[in-house]
Amino acid sequence: MTRKRATKAVRLKDIAVKTGMSIATVCKILKGPPTSDLFAEGSVKRVKQMADRLGYRPNYHARSLQTGKSMTVGVAMAGSIESNIWFFGQMLGGIQNQARLLGHSLLLISPEKDRDSLATGLEYARCRQIDCLIVPHFAYSEESVRQMENVNLSVVLTTLYERKTSLPTVLMDPKPGIAQAVQHLADLGHRRLTWFGPVPGTDQILGDSREAVFSSAVKSLGLKGDSVYFSKLPAGAPDEVGEWVQGGREAMLKHLAGVPKDQAPTCLVCSDERHALGAYSAILECGLKIPGDVSVVGFDNIFAPVACPTMTVVSHMLPEIGRKAVEMAIAMADDPALVVKLRGHREYIPSQLIVSKSTVRPRA
């Protein structure tokens, strides 16, 4: 009986010989950006094609022993992926793509029975199972932020609003997108713009701060602005999409019932696209058309592409927030001095208006 000979592992030297390049060059190209950016596109292509042809597989264990790095980015989750995915999916896509581009794997860290994902993530970082930890805003509390501030590890927070912390943070700037939305409606000919958001003082994140930006943009263009408010969800109510949509629907139905059809708002700028979807429902129930009678601008870009008509929306640029967080976290892992240098650093990602089919010129 003949015994099958084991396949010999392909080495960097084998690729170097076949391509006529040095082992160091082959190594830098296969490591990916930023080292591969130092070489001509043709050289990079030739090395990668030869590596695929020979069946080369990098020895991550050996690399980890040599560099002391796991080449893995950890992401803390507040619960199961299913409970986060409707909002978190876009940010996670940005995190994963940038991590892969920089030669890193991704590890999602969920809460365990006896401890939360932050404690597990910090333990992984201390044990070098991950090089850095990204913590989205829904995965931490004020208390947990204070705990993370006391560790000398590569930890980056992501959020959609300002948080008081000395940890480096990547967050959205709502001003550019809202200003673009107001300008867009003004360019279409709207002269009275209506804000649709939570009662002032009940939601500083979605309501007060975004409405202040809206009011400032309207005033700067010499336009008129008014507001329609809805009540915040009662304490303890589940943060479900349906609950938010229903809240927006009821508030808009109540408002439209109190005004003649010809005096209904010609346009709405909404604090959140879930409430905007509720406004969609109420407007149609009252016999008005979108956008013929009422133009609608939402905020988020999660459900806007599947609305009917597709919704013009201010995007919070979640993929870009994820990409920037990975860049910062890996840079800190590569240069420990940055962990101290970036204390309190804020990286703002500008929101951006995406024009679709829910906004047109105002009715006569």
**232 domain-assigned:** yes
Structural domain contains residue 28:
no
Instruction: Give the long-range contacts of residues 352-355, CB within 8 A, separation 24 or more.
Output: 352/176, 352/177, 352/180, 352/314, 352/315, 352/317, 353/177, 353/180, 353/181, 353/184, 353/297, 353/312, 353/313, 353/314, 353/315, 354/301, 354/304, 354/312, 354/313, 354/314, 354/315, 355/184, 355/312
Residue 14 belongs to a domain: no
Structural domain range at position 248: 175-315
- How far is the first Cα of the chain from the last one, in angstroms, to the nearest whole number? 90
pLDDT at 331 over 60: yes
The verdict on 189 and 273 lying in the same domain is yes
Per the domain annotation, does 180 fall within a domain? yes
Within a domain: 63: no
In a domain, 271, yes or no: yes
Asked whether residue 5 carries a pLDDT value surpassing 50, the answer given is no
Clarify whether residues 233 and 206 are in a common domain.
yes
Confidence at residue 10, expressed as pLDDT on a 0 to 100 scale: 76
Q: Hey, which bits of the chain come out as E strands?
A: 72-76, 105-109, 132-136, 155-159, 169-173, 192-198, 224-230, 267-270, 295-300, 312-315, 346-350, 352-354
Dihedral, 85, 81, 317, 212 alpha carbons, nearest 10: 80
Same domain, 122 and 221: no
Same domain for 295 and 193: yes
Q: Which two tokens stand for residue 230?
A: 């809805």
265-292 average pLDDT score:
93
Q: Nearest CA to 280 among 355, 179, 196, 214?
A: 196
Spatial CA neighbour of 97 closest among 162, 25, 33 = 33
Q: Are residues 330 and 265 in the same domain?
A: no
Q: 205 lies in a domain? A: yes
121 closest CA partner among 98, 147, 84, 93: 147
- Answer yes or no: is pLDDT of 310 > 90: yes
What pLDDT band is residue 235 in, cutting at 50, 70 and 90? very low
Pairing of strands 352-354, 312-315: antiparallel
pTM over 0.85: no
For residue 130, the domain's CATH number is: 3.40.50.2300
Q: Give the number of domains in the chain.
A: 2
What are the pLDDT digits (tens) for 104-161?
Answer: 889 888 877 777 787 888 888 888 888 899 988 776 777 777 777 777 888 899 988 7
Of 79, 135, 130, whose CA–CA distance to 106 is shortest? 130
> Looking at the structure, do residues 237 and 332 belong to the same domain, yes or no?
no
φ and ψ at 95, to 5 degrees? -65, -50
Are 197 and 134 in the same domain?
no
Same domain, 229 and 118: no
Q: Are residues 273 and 303 in the same domain?
A: yes
The amino acid present at 248, given as its one-letter code, is: G
Do 108 and 161 belong to one domain?
yes
Do 186 and 152 share a structural domain? no
pLDDT at 194: 96
Please check whether residues 213 and 264 belong to one and the same domain: yes
The shares of helix, strand and coil residues in the chain, as percent rounded to the nearest 5, are 50, 15, 35
**Domain boundary, last residue among 272, 293, 315:** 315
Q: How confident is the model at residue 328 (pLDDT cuts 50, 70, 90)?
A: very high
Strand partners, 310: none
pLDDT in tens, 188-200: 999 999 999 888 8
Residue 9 belongs to some domain of the structure = no
Q: Enter the tokens of residue 214.
A: 């809206």
- The dihedral over CA atoms of 270, 271, 273, 279, expressed in degrees to the nearest 10, equals -40
Overall average pLDDT of the 48-52 stretch: 86
